[in-house]
Structure 1
Amino acid sequence: MTAQSVAGPIEIGSRAPDFELRDQNNQVVRLSDLRDRDVLIVFFPLAFTGTCEGELGFLRDNLPRFDNDYVTVVAVSVGPPPTHKVWSSAQGFLFPILADFWPHGAVADAYGVFDVERGFPNRGTFVVGRDGTVKFSAMVGPGEQRGDETWDAALAVVGH
């Protein structure tokens, strides 16, 4: 049994764990520095995989829905920044893709979505409000894809 299957994703109303991770350009991104808008945090298992590429491609293709005056988006996985740089450049991902590389999966674990048996996060989706509390929380396994209902439900709480 994995640690995440016992705890599950952190609950709505909880204080969101702050983090400091490097993006695909090796720039430090802190959750606490993004408080001017709600933050959509999208955990994904691994770069260069079909489902992950499709989901992040959906964000890219609909970026004005996910990055505007009310919300900004960050994606998080366990790969290192150089891997994320190559992948994001090839795919045209302009939003931050954060490396939860070391300590390996620590941020995903703090959010309750790290799969310790596989060594990567499940597909966790969170909205963190300007006050630092979780406004939306959902998770599906690595073989499942987030549907439109997940994106719509996450965006429904933005700005409220």
Structure 2
Amino acid sequence: MTDEIRVGETIQDFRLRDQKREEIHLYDLKGKKVLLSFHPLAWTQVCAQQMKSLEENYELFTELNTVPLGISVDPIPSKKAWARELGINHIKLLSDFWPHGEVARTCGIFRGKEGVSERANIIIDENRQVIYFKKYLGHELPDIKEIIEVLKNK
């Protein structure tokens, strides 16, 4: 298992597809902060609340020069249907499906036994350095206010 990523480290580049099959290349987002909001599985209550909180705060993220990305191991068709069900129009829901959980693994938050990522938020700055990293219990909804405060103060 890979060690967990730490504040101060540079995050490894990746390319994943979102619910619209558009490829998102992390290093293309240079000059912006990026919130990587990992959730174990689509179609679950806490994960839905987590992604809806990102969508509800999309304008504020934009004002804070931040691109919020939801990431899980679910395949793209599932992400597409889930985004439609939740009314997600702005947030990109990335599929870390194949190689299975590869981005979560490089961050050290893949749970091999269950085949899903931990619930975690990682914020990287404009130079791709990790400025915030927090894991949550599976049933715990990340506090969006805490994320916003970190972004305002960094």
Q: 1:14 to 1:24 in 2, by over 3 A?
A: same
Q: Which of 83, 105, 114 is 1:88 aligned to?
A: 83
In structure 2, what residue type is equivalent to 1:135? I
8 A contact 1:42–1:74 mirrored in 2: yes
The answer for the alignment partner of 1:11 in structure 2 is 6
Distance (whole Å) between structure 1 residues aligned to residue 114 and residue 130 of structure 2:
26
1:36 CA displacement? 2.7
Q: Check if 1:20 corresponds to 2:15.
A: yes
How far the C-alpha of 1:148 sits from its partner, in A, is: 4.3
**Aligned equivalents of 1:106 and 1:154: distance in 2?**
26
Pick from 31, 41, 44: which aligns with 2:36?
41
Which of 64, 70, 74 is the matching residue for 1:75?
Answer: 70
| Over 4 Å off, 4+ runs | none
Cα shift at 1:59: 1.3
Could you tell me which residue of structure 1 aligns to residue 61 of structure 2? 66
Q: CA deviation at 1:87?
A: 0.6
Q: Answer whether contact 1:39 1:73 (CA < 8 A) is retained.
A: yes
Segments of structure 1 that go 5 or more residues without pairing to the other structure are: none
Structure 1 length normalisation: TM-score? 0.88
Deviations 1:54-83 (A, max 9, x none): 111111112222233511111110001111
Q: Partner residue of 1:118?
A: 114
Q: 3-state SS of the aligned residue for 1:132?
A: coil
Number of residues paired by the alignment?
A: 153
Partner of residue 132 from structure 2, selected from 131, 136, 144: 136
Q: Letter of the aligned partner of 1:67 in structure 2?
A: T
1:143 is displaced (CA, Å) by 2.4
1:95 shift after superposition: 1.1
Q: Are the aligned partners of 2:64 and 2:151 in contact in 1 as well (CA < 8 Å)?
A: no
Give the TM-score taking structure 2 as reference length.
Answer: 0.91
